[in-house]
Structure 1
Amino acid sequence: MFTGIVEELGEITGVEDQGDASRFRVRGPVVTEGAKHGDSIAVNGVCLTVVEFGDGEFTADVMAETLNRSSLGALGPGSRVNLERPMALGGRLGGHLVQGHVDGTGVVVERKPAEHWEIVKISLPADLTRYVVEKGSITVDGISLTVVDAGADYFTVSLIPTTLALTTLGIKQPGDPVNLEVDVIAKYVERMLGERAAAPDPGATA
């Protein structure tokens, strides 16, 4: 489980095509400190498993399902990526509960700079619209953000200077894809309410 608080802006240093998968090599001296084989690291919001590590880099295998569902397939050597290690049990939850399981991708539609922040508009797939609400939480490329405005096919977020300087959202331009993960609590609530509505009334008579 992650929090959506990016620890480091890393870099893809290599991509090995393995047919139905790819092996990524990622530079991230902060997140690899103390790393072990099998550890999890979120790369642009996608939970990946460490295969090898050393000299401030790690490798991770990315299967076809992940490449197709996320924007990782568009990355290559030199691409910058947001990196985060899992939250330690008992640690502070600085953002919100993030699983590292991408629900879909959006596209940066527009950027509107202001004096001390920037508003970014991002397209929203139709099947995710019901989970995104004004002032709710959403994860964009692994970054925990608060929704400013939620439309039928888009949402906006307001980015502070720290987010612009230390994450990929500072360099993403209109047309660039981003990974989206909606609030998992909303999905659980929807599932439970749906099952409750479908359950027979125990007090009903035939």
Structure 2
Amino acid sequence: MFTGLIEEIGVLRRVQRRGEAMIMTVAASKVLEGVKLGDSISVNGVCLTVVSFDGGSFNADVMPQTFRHSNLCELKPGNPVNLERAMQAGGRFGGHIVQGHADGTGTIAERREDANAVVFTIKPGDPGTLRHVVPQGSVTLDGISLTVVDVDREAGSLKVSIIPHTLQETALQYKKTGDTVNIECDILGKYVDHLLSQRFDGKEAGSRASAGGLTEAKLRELGF
């Protein structure tokens, strides 16, 4: 589990690709403090496992599933990446619950200044992703815990406003219009939606329509 508070900006040192599988070598310092084989490190919001490391970098495998559902496949040596170690029990919870499981990617449609902040407009590759995005709720972009300031379902986009500190301390400062970001929606919304889309007898619904959802008739049937 992560919190979406970036600990440092690392640099992709090397990429070894074999089809849709990759081994990434990431140069870092802070996230290597106390690191052990098998530890989890979030790279641009994607939970990866440390398979080897030295004093200035770590290696992590990227499997095809991750390759297909994140922007890690677009990274090249020299690219900056956001890094965060898994949360320690008893630590401060400054962001929100982040799994490091990207729901997909989005494209930066606009980047504009708003007084001391910078507003990013993101268009998810799958418009259905917006189902789990709530205004003033939480969303993770490239591993950064952010607050949603607007959702435009007709335009198929969401907006976040970035304070100067967050911009300076993350790789988002290098992002421009047309670049992609990894999106992870708030886990609470995803779980609630999944549970409500199932039949009350516990059997998986064939479709949302056949499941019926939580209706007045269903509540009456259950005794409410």
Distance (whole Å) between structure 2 residues aligned to residue 184 and residue 67 of structure 1: 21
**Contact 1:117 1:159 survives alignment (8 Å):** yes
Q: Which residue of 2 aligns with 1:159?
A: 162
Q: For residues 95-135 of structure 1, give each alpha carbon's deviation from its aligned partner in whole angstroms, at most 9, with x where no partner exists.
A: 00000000010001111113311111111231211111110
The Cα RMSD (Å) is 1.5
**Which runs of structure 2 are paired with 1:1-206 in the superposition (5 Å)?**
1-124=1-124, 125-152=126-153, 153-195=156-198, 196=200, 201=221
Distance (whole Å) between structure 2 residues aligned to residue 126 and residue 117 of structure 1: 26
Q: For residues 61-81 of structure 1, give each alpha carbon's deviation from its aligned partner in whole angstroms, at most 9, with x where no partner exists.
A: 001111111000000100100
Query: Which range moves more in the overlay, 11-20 or 188-197?
Result: 188-197
Match of 1:78, SS state, is: coil
**Contact 1:12 1:25 survives alignment (8 Å):** yes
Distance (whole Å) between structure 1 residues aligned to residue 193 and residue 20 of structure 2: 33
Distance (whole Å) between structure 1 residues aligned to residue 58 and residue 95 of structure 2: 25
Distance (whole Å) between structure 2 residues aligned to residue 185 and residue 161 of structure 1: 28
Question: Where does structure 2 lack aligned partners over 5 or more consecutive residues?
Answer: 201-211
Shift of 1:198: 5.7
The one-letter code of the counterpart of 2:184 is E
Distance (whole Å) between structure 2 residues aligned to residue 129 and residue 116 of structure 1: 27
Give the count of matched residue pairs.
Answer: 203
Distance (whole Å) between structure 2 residues aligned to residue 198 and residue 160 of structure 1: 39
Question: Where does structure 1 lack aligned partners over 5 or more consecutive residues?
Answer: none
Distance (whole Å) between structure 2 residues aligned to residue 162 and residue 97 of structure 1: 21
Query: Which range moves more in the overlay, 123-132 or 88-97?
Result: 123-132
Shift of 1:202: 5.3
